[in-house]
Structure formats: structure tokens, C-alpha cells
Amino acid sequence: MSDLDNSLNWLEALKWDADGMIPAIAQDENGRVVMFAWMNRESLQETLQCGNAVYWSRSRKRLWRKGEESGHFQKIRSIRTDCDGDVLLLSIEQVGGIACHTGRESCFFNELNGDRWVPADPPSLRDAGFPSARRSGKVLHRQALFGRSGFDSEKDRRGNCRADHGCQGWQAPEHRLGID
């Protein structure tokens, strides 16, 4: 591998795989790796435009705006790449503290113990007897943030980026990343 060519436009300097993807690691403010996902050019550009993590869902074959269903957005604090320019590191603020669809703080909760993978992190809300994290997690998260289970208006409170790249709602960061 060759080093990142800093003379190129930021997007063109990155090394995309044959499918136009680049791996992205999300790391919280404490340095904990909370998630791994894939990004394409469109998702990375929307991430920069909106200030929240937007990934490419390979299974759904569409943009995945992290938190669009759960309310657990990832506010971008900074984006770095490695020396080769073939991996991204997103420094994020994990809204609600839950990054994993299981209701855990990190997707990396299984630890190899001998010849078995065992959960190493404390049980999540879902594991404590709550129904699906996709349903109850969203309601519990909203209650924690707003003291009630509903929003005045989904359009006002959902906080996801729309197709026209317009950001709306409570999660919009105080600053935008200074990359055009």
C-alpha cells in the first residue's frame, strides 16, 4: 500500500474498494470502538453535510442514517483516515449511549473465552426483559431525552438527514465539519 496522497481532493485521496466502499470505525469520546460499518462516497458526503453518521447498508442496499429508527444518532466530532487512506475513523458522540441494535453501548461485546464467544458487557435493556430494542429502546430513549414517550412532531424531532441533505431536529451539531 502507498501512503495517502495529500495533494488530491479529500474524497479522491481515499482508497475505495472495488465496490466503491471504505470501512469506517466509530469510536466514542472515551476511545471505545462502538461500531464498524461501510461507507460509500454518497454516505461520507452526507455525513459531512449533516454532521451525523450516515453509512451504506450492504444488506438493504441503501443509505443507513444511524439512528433513523432507534433515535441513537452518532454526532460526528472528527474524521480521520489511516496512513494508507483505506480506513476511516469516526470520532463520535453516541446519542443515548447505545450503538448496537442489541441495545448495548458497543457492537463489540462478545469476547473469545477458550473456544466460545461470550458476552463480556453488562446486559442491555433488551437482555433485562424488555421487548425488542428496536421498539422499546426508541421509546425509552425518547423518554430519557424529553421526559415523555412522543415527539411534538416527527418532522421536528426525528433529527435525521433528508435526501436533500437538510438537517433538522434536536441532534443537529453545533458546528459543521469544515470540509467542502
Domain residue limits at 35 = 10-157
Instruction: Return the bridge partners of 119, or none.
Output: 110
Angle at 119 between CA 113 and CA 123, to 5 degrees: 155
Look at residue 47 and tell me if it is in a domain.
yes
Tell me: the pLDDT tens digits for 137-180? Answer: 443 443 343 333 333 333 333 444 544 444 543 243 444 455 54
In a domain, 113, yes or no: yes
Residue 26 resides in a domain:
yes
Q: Is residue 18 part of a domain?
A: yes
Task: Report how many domains make up the chain.
Answer: 1
CATH, residue 109: 3.10.20.810
Quick check: is 164 in a domain? no
Beta strands in 11-163 (DSSP E): 22-27, 33-39, 54-57, 62-65, 74-81, 88-94, 110-113, 116-119
Nearest to 122 by CA among 149, 100, 147: 100
How far does Cα 147 stand from its chain's mean position? Answer: 24
pTM tops 0.85, yes or no = no
The model's pLDDT over 27-79, given as tens digits with 9 standing for 90+, comes to 999 999 999 999 999 999 999 999 999 999 999 999 999 999 989 999 999 99
Task: State phi, psi for 145 to the nearest 5 degrees.
Answer: -80, -40
The answer to whether residue 79 sits within a structural domain is yes
Residue 175 lies in a domain: no
Is residue 168 in a domain? no
